[in-house]
Every structure is written in C-alpha cells, then in structure tokens.
Amino acid sequence: MTSSLAALEQRARELLDLVHYDYFAGGAGDEITLADNEQAFRRLALLPRVLRDTSSRSIATNLLGDPSSMPVFVSPTAFHKLAHPDGERATARGVAAAGLILIASMAGTVAIGEVTAAAQDVDREARVWFQLYLQPDPEVTAELVRRAKRAGCTALVVTVDSPVHGRRAREDRHGFHDLPANMRAENMRGLPGSTGDAVRSIAMSSDFTWDHLRRLREMTDLPLVLKGILHPEDARLAVEFGADAIVVSNHGGRQLDRTPASLDALPAIAAAVADRIPVFLDGGVRCGSDVALALALGATAVGVGRPVLWGLAVGGDKGVTDVLDTLRSEFEHTLTLCGIAELSELNTSLVITRGASQ
C-alpha cells in the first residue's frame, strides 16, 4: 500500500512531464477553490465515541444498484495516457482490482469499450459509469450514449457545471491546449457529422437547460447522475427532474474559481435532497478520515480523482490499486477509532469545527 498520498504526488511530479503534471494538478483562476477543497476537511474534526464494539463491520455498499467494496468511487479525469502508456486501461484494471466503480471520462484517451473490457478482464462483475458532456448536436450525444450502453456502462454521469471551459493559468502558461500527436480523445472518434473516423472536439455550450436533460432522459434507461451541483436549489431541481443521484462538485477547482469547497456545500445540499436520492461528493478527498467526514455530513459516497492519477503515473494499474487500498485501510482505521460499527452511524454528531467547544 501507499504510505503517503502526499509523497506519492511528489513522486508522480518527478516522473511526469511538468506540462502534464500541471494539467492534472492545476485549477482555475488563482486556484483558491482548488486549495480550499482540501482545506475544508482540515477545518473540521471528528468527535469519536469510545467503548463501542467495532469488531465486526463491513464497509461494502451499493451505488445505484452496483456493488462497491467501500463508499468510494473513482471520479472522471481526462487524458490518462499523459500519465501512463496504457492510459485508462490501466486505471480500469486497478479500480476493478480494488472492487470500486470507475467513472470513465468522455475525454478519455482510450475508447469506452476498451475501458470496460479492461475492467472486466480483472473482474467480470466490474462496473464502469460513463461521464458525459451534452453536445450541441443531439445526434452526437445520442451516439455517445449508445456507445456507453453497448460497452456495458451501467450509469451516465452528466457534467453540468461546464457551459465553457475553465480558465487555468498553468495550462495557459505552458501553452498546453492540445494532446500530443499520438493521443486523441478516442470517444470522440467517428461520431455523426465527422468524416470517416476523424476525432471531433468536445464542445461546450452555454444554452443548455433542464429541457436538454429531459431529452437525454428520453434517450436512455440508464441511471442519470448530475455532477457539478453546488446550489441547494439546483439539488431540488435535480430531484424534480428525476435524477437518480447528484454529485456535489466544483470540478476539482478547475471551472469557476472562488466557488465553495465541495465539503462546505454538502450539508445544505444534503438537507435540500432529504434522502430522496443519493448525494455523492468529490473534491479534496485525500485520506480515509476525509471519507468519514463527508459521509457524516450527508454524502452517500465520495469520489477521488487526482490521487488515482498519481498512482497511475507511479505504478500503472498496481499503483491505482495501491492508492485505493490505502484509502480503504485509512477509512476502516478511522471508523474503528471513532467507535463506528456501521456506515449508517456516521452522522453530524461526530463532526465539529476544529477549535470549537463541544
């Protein structure tokens, strides 16, 4: 297992081209939200219980009908071949070995069918969800949905916080706006309106509304997860729309700078949803106690992104599994020390603001 995710990131930084490291590590604007995602966890403390029998416990769970060995999933991140030659194939193998759900990015450097095949080579029961940006041409969106379904994906995760690309100073400083010549966003190859197997660019559009999501709902019977919710009213609308789950997320601090940390936004959103659908969270999760804090504040499960990329860069699929096994070990250790025997016992009574009196 990985002894320290901070040390792992430093090792990955040494191995990666600096331009590619900064692409993965960087955030929007002054990177205030990027930093705050992690700092939000440090502002809180766990209040443990004692003399409670925790000798028997399972942290396995079920997310939208799919089994998961713990309440953690792997968040969608783009362009894994920048970190490792096998790209998303290696990530899929590593996640499957850990018994978790991978959300594969639409901006993957390996096509979704190959990603699911790699996961299922490790575990026939492995589950992959597909992250989707709605495209201005509905036929392109429809074909992406069909490909995900044919590949065996069991849910669609629709990113809703990206009417335009975020402005990221590190990428601008390096002039990093295109993949190397031997890499492409393979899910965008051979789509309607393209010539032959040409690769289209992923388009963002500021005119998307809830009506566009309703059209997507009509295209597929796959569960729909809306990723990028920060406002409680949007969470209520997601429930009314019929979303199967939401992800409280600020896109890892990569879209709009100075938004709330995901963890800070979570309690109000959990209250607005009121257990009607699962509420997931990503952004800033770096250790097992972070997982416990998020679940105590109302999350059903949490996503981890950048640490998986660092594991991929350092050790390929085994590096990915090591990161996730480390997170599992830390989470179980935290639960034991908090006197928690069941995941359902994680609640707000166990969380205080650091430095506050009880």
Q: What are the percentages of helix, strand and coil residues in the chain, rounded to 5?
A: 45, 15, 40
Q: Are 326 and 2 in contact (CB under 8 A)?
A: yes
Choose, from 80, 84, 251, 333, the residue flagged as catalytic: 251
DSSP strand pairing (351-353 vs 44-46): antiparallel
Q: Are 281 and 303 in contact (CB under 8 A)?
A: yes
Amino acid at 301: A
Please, what is the Cα angle at 285 between 178 and 183, to 5 degrees?
20
Residue with tokens 């026939």: 124
As a whole number of angstroms, the distance between CA 289 and CA 337 comes to 10
Measuring CA to CA, which residue among 1, 9, 73, 81 is closest to residue 38? 9
As a whole number of angstroms, the distance between CA 35 and CA 27 comes to 9
Residues 6+ apart with CB under 8 A from 20: 82, 83, 176
20 is catalytic: no
Residues 6+ apart with CB under 8 A from 231: 265, 269
Q: Is residue 149 helix, strand or coil?
A: helix
Give the up-direction half-sphere exposure of residue 237: CA atoms within 13 A in the CB hemisphere.
Answer: 13
Q: Where are the alpha helices (DSSP H) in 57-155?
A: 88-98, 112-122, 138-151
Tally DSSP H helices, then E strands, for the chain.
12, 12
Q: Are 40 and 318 in contact (CB under 8 A)?
A: no
Q: Which residues are catalytic?
A: 251
